[in-house]
Structure 1
Amino acid sequence: MTEHWKEVLAVDPYVVKSASLLGDIDRQLITLLYQPLIGMSAFSLYMTLWGELEQNRMWGKPAPHRQLMVMLQTNLNDIFEERLKLEAIGLLRTYEQETEEGRLFTYELVPPLRPDEFFQDGMLNVLLYHRVEKAKYMQLRDYFSYPGVPAEAKNISRSFEEVFHVLQPGERKMTEEIHQASSLDQGYEYVTVGSSQPAPLSDESFDFDLLLAGMSDMMIPRKALTKQVKETIKKLAVVYGITPLQMQNIVAGACGSDQMISTEELRKAARDWYQIEYRGEQPKLIDQKQPRHLRQDASKTPAADTPDAKLIEKLDHISPRELLKDMADGIEPTYADLRIVEDIMLEQQLEPGVMNVLIYYTLLKTDMKLSKTYMQKIAAHWVRKKIKTVAAAMKIAKEENRQMTEWAQQKKQRSPYGTGKVVREEKLPDWMKETETKEQPAKEQTDNLSTEDLEREKEKLLDQFKNMKKYNAH
């Protein structure tokens, strides 16, 4: 991932702008619906930027980013990372402009989705459901809803013409004078209230060319794929893990007799498909597998029979839940472990295969325990490095382990005291140990494997992993 100092510096000025007037309802929506998704730090950044706007004003005053660092009591890298979360979920738009004073950033605060839009979004509401769980989700849904007008009640409201019948024909015309008076000067815009947008998804998140490749225009008219329909398709693909080829039948089923696609029918078809595919279970991040386009093609790999290649193939085809289960001899993982994994996947947006490497690496480095703090630190680093594949995750894990080993050796050499205590060696899988055994002298290799019990424990763990039942089903 791009280093933050290449994107923004502490001396760079910024100014806050609001896309519309923000009020108490926006504060409630962000606190109750968005904060569980973006976390406390991103929530604090949004509220701090909002606080820089004077009451009922649309623009704040320019200030250097150093001031923001002081206000939030954090470093610029963390501010940059939290800014990206706000942008990704649709609460912030960032603009960059070269001025005489230097590079100016404009942070435009976007109000949250209205309650009806959020709970029918198809992506954010699903993520919130799995983040806060059913009981709290139902409580939030009830909080933002109220009884409607009884169906049997008759609407007797009068129309405009019935009341304002005294208007003369000339008063109803839009004259050139009125048009000019209503037009704003260039660069200005009218104040809006409650203008919101869904969380943006890039066009690269779904392959529409592949979707349409197997569908004729007679089956699905291209005009039916409106902007709204495409956005819905992208969201459903993210939430349910639907591939373009699987989406073909879902889209065809949602196309009505008028040759148009209903977004509501599209959502229903996707839910039905998922429940049939996964036996009625609701989608969970921990049950997803590495996307096909990010998997390593074994047929194109020269050393496909090496231990590394076999391990990559296994981690590419198994979900984090299945990995935890198979590394525990078929015993279902605990709720606490599953929650740790799902929280990290959601917070850091890790791909399932990358999460598998992180789990495997963590278990072997921390005596078969899942440490959330330890995993969060590594995950954040991998996200900044844009690690998307299993092979890339294994490579960076090797490098990190090598650096830690060198650091420990240097620290030991610098120490003026010799304690004489036996230093506990780390348990390492073959794919991580392989690199350093080529570089270390034979004596060091012997020392690292001096404990027979440790070696037996490691071999037992690797045997369990190689005999994974779930993978054999593929």
Structure 2
Amino acid sequence: MALQSYDYGLRPHDNFTVIRHFHINHSHLEILNRLYTPMIGSNAIGLYHYLDQFVEFKTDSVLTHYIIMSELKINLLDFRKNMDLLEGIGLVKSFVKHDAQHSSFVYQLIQPPSAKQFFSDPMLSVYLFSEVSKQRYQQLKQHFEDKDQLDMTLFQDVTRQFTDVFKIPNQELQSDTSDIQSEETYEGLNLSRVKFDFETLYDLLQSHFVSTKIIDKEAKALIIQIATLYGLTAESMKRIILKSITSAQELSFEELRKHARTFYLIEHEQQLPKLQVKSESAQSHSSETLTKDKQSESSHWLEQLEETSPIDMLASWSESEPTPQQKYMIEELVEREQLSFGVINILLQFVMLKEDMKLPKTYILEIASNWKKKGIKTAEEAYNYALKVSQPKDEHKPSKPYYKQKHLASREMTPKWLEERDNTNQNDKSMNQTEDDEKLKSDREAFLNQLKTRWKEDTE
């Protein structure tokens, strides 16, 4: 199942800001229109041009995604699909900050590569070649090469240097340039998550008495690009490298690209790889790792809720000391409903999120009674039930589920009050699990005895 717009925390009333750390010029526009449009389409490139107008907006101007939807006549899912293409190809970076009421997005436009960088990039150049005809590819390449036709190899540089013209100051000036924003340069496609087995490659090369020193940082980056583009293994890359070593025992990047392309064409019936967007199932699979990490962290958080007094949780969650009425209400929950600390903690957070941080006693007691009848006994069961009842009934108007509304969206998975409690108990981690269970049991009994004593005094 593909990600939906609300999986990004994106809603129409969420605001956005557009930033750009370079001056866009005619050359950039030509690169975008002539070279990138065939690869990712006119809609995505049009969105890049459209977002650029918001760079000049004042910082105090509020821009919401309603503007994009209204002016481009698209929904948020279409917007995200085009943004995915721009982000994947390296033209946009997206950042988000979640708050209780809405989310704020920052879209950073990335400077396109120069024509030389584009055609020197093994991935971009091959993907463009796959989308257009050979004749059209040569036309595009020739168009950009014609802009610098003058052969400078026969000329000598006679430009006078600074010290030839100006006097050097006797005392060096100390100037602070930390606030001056320098223009960014094109950094290529982001392949930081791509892994290549260099250790095996080194072993294979050494078996042919080839020094691994020829694989420097620049060569590594090119090998990762070529391996990603053509789906090459360490064994295949070894054969290509052996063919690309010059008589001076150096690695020729041009030969490396050439032999890798030839190898792929032979294996795939003279068809070069094409730029393909992931299918919905592949997108879902790529997010499984992140989901597992979140589940592990969530499990730890739920365990901590089971061991934390609701009064302590409430004091930190609401960032204020609970009132006497609230404390009596919590005591009544524990005494009358016999719910665990974890269930009560989830219940209180659930109500505060729904009731604008208020704790109406009648409403809380009614929910507690209902949860007890449903047999909810653990924080995890309470958490899952809260998620279930918070899901939007109208599928055509999706909103963020309960866990994204505040706890997971605007706060870290482990809240501050739990982190502080962990820090204060750091030295106690050497205690074994049996001692922890006994201490928790004794704390519960002491708490219940205190409640009974207080209720007895009140009745007298």
Native 8 Å contact 1:275 1:282 kept in 2: yes
Moved more, 95-104 or 107-116: 95-104
Residues 89, 152 of structure 1: CA spacing in aligned structure 2 closer, same or farther, 3 A cutoff? closer
Residues 310-356 of structure 1, C-alpha deviations (whole Å, 9 max, x = no match): xxxxxxxxxxxxxxxxxxxxxxxxxxxxxxxxxxxx3424xxxxxxx
**2:156 aligned residue:** 155
User: Given the alignment of the two structures, is residue 70 of structure 1 paired with residue 70 of structure 2, yes or no?
Assistant: yes
Q: Shift of residue 84 of structure 1?
A: 1.4
Q: CA RMSD in A?
A: 3.3
Query: How many Å separate the matches in 2 of 1:224 and 1:13?
Result: 49
**2:25 aligned residue:** 23
**2:365 aligned residue:** none
Partner AA of 1:348 in structure 2? V
Residues 89-125 of structure 1, C-alpha deviations (whole Å, 9 max, x = no match): 1101112235687532211101211011111111111
**1:432 aligned residue:** none
**2:292 aligned residue:** none
Native 8 Å contact 1:211 1:247 kept in 2: yes
**1:192 aligned residue:** 183
Residues 19, 206 of structure 1: CA spacing in aligned structure 2 closer, same or farther, 3 A cutoff? farther
Query: How many Å separate the matches in 2 of 1:383 and 1:71?
Result: 31
Moved more, 214-223 or 125-134: 214-223
What are the equivalent positions in structure 2 for 1:104-253 lying under 5 Å apart?
104-146=104-146, 148-150=149-151, 153-160=154-161, 164-165=163-164, 167-170=166-169, 175=172, 178-181=173-176, 183-185=177-179, 189-192=180-183, 195-204=185-194, 206-216=196-206, 219=209, 221-253=211-243
**1:407 aligned residue:** none
Partner AA of 2:225 in structure 1? K
Residue-pair matches, total: 284
**1:43 aligned residue:** 45
Query: How many Å separate the matches in 2 of 1:70 and 1:121?
Result: 37
**2:272 aligned residue:** 283
Partner AA of 2:161 in structure 1? F
Residues 245, 28 of structure 1: CA spacing in aligned structure 2 closer, same or farther, 3 A cutoff? same
Query: How many Å separate the matches in 2 of 1:70 and 1:382?
Result: 30
**1:312 aligned residue:** none
Native 8 Å contact 1:53 1:60 kept in 2: no
**Higher-Rg member (1/2):** 2
Partner AA of 2:106 in structure 1? T
What are the equivalent positions in structure 2 for 1:52-63 lying under 5 Å apart?
52-54=54-56, 61-63=61-63
Residues 338-392 of structure 1, C-alpha deviations (whole Å, 9 max, x = no match): xxxxxxxx3424xxxxxxxxxxxxxxxxxxxxxxxxxxxxx5x44544489xxxx
The 3-state SS of whatever aligns with 1:137 is helix
- Percent identity between the two aligned chains: 26
Native 8 Å contact 1:239 1:283 kept in 2: no
Query: How many Å separate the matches in 1 of 2:196 and 2:72?
Result: 36
**2:14 aligned residue:** 12
Residues 95, 201 of structure 1: CA spacing in aligned structure 2 closer, same or farther, 3 A cutoff? same
Q: Shift of residue 235 of structure 1?
A: 2.0
Q: Shift of residue 72 of structure 1?
A: 1.9
Native 8 Å contact 1:17 1:60 kept in 2: no
Partner AA of 2:127 in structure 1? L
Query: How many Å separate the matches in 1 of 2:252 and 2:211?
Result: 13
Gaps of 5+ in 2: 288-460
Query: How many Å separate the matches in 2 of 1:258 and 1:203?
Result: 33
Partner AA of 1:26 in structure 2? H
Gaps of 5+ in 1: 286-345, 350-378, 389-474
The 3-state SS of whatever aligns with 1:273 is helix
What are the equivalent positions in structure 2 for 1:308-457 lying under 5 Å apart?
346-349=275-278, 379=279, 381-386=280-285
Residues 275, 42 of structure 1: CA spacing in aligned structure 2 closer, same or farther, 3 A cutoff? closer
Query: How many Å separate the matches in 2 of 1:60 and 1:224?
Result: 53
Q: Shift of residue 222 of structure 1?
A: 4.8
Native 8 Å contact 1:251 1:261 kept in 2: yes
TM (norm. structure 1) is 0.53
The 3-state SS of whatever aligns with 2:94 is strand
The 3-state SS of whatever aligns with 2:41 is helix
Query: How many Å separate the matches in 1 of 2:226 and 2:219?
Result: 11
Residues 223, 64 of structure 1: CA spacing in aligned structure 2 closer, same or farther, 3 A cutoff? farther
Residues 387, 165 of structure 1: CA spacing in aligned structure 2 closer, same or farther, 3 A cutoff? closer
Native 8 Å contact 2:21 2:181 kept in 1: no
Q: Shift of residue 221 of structure 1?
A: 4.7
Q: Shift of residue 261 of structure 1?
A: 3.5
Query: How many Å separate the matches in 1 of 2:213 and 2:116?
Result: 27
The 3-state SS of whatever aligns with 1:69 is helix
Partner AA of 1:167 in structure 2? F
**2:367 aligned residue:** none
Partner AA of 1:48 in structure 2? Y
**1:271 aligned residue:** 261
Larger RCO: Structure 1 or Structure 2 (Cα < 8 Å, ≥ 6 residues apart)?
Answer: 2
Query: How many Å separate the matches in 2 of 1:16 and 1:33?
Result: 23
Q: Shift of residue 277 of structure 1?
A: 5.0
Query: How many Å separate the matches in 2 of 1:59 and 1:383?
Result: 38
Native 8 Å contact 2:205 2:212 kept in 1: no
The 3-state SS of whatever aligns with 1:180 is coil
Residues 395-417 of structure 1, C-alpha deviations (whole Å, 9 max, x = no match): xxxxxxxxxxxxxxxxxxxxxxx
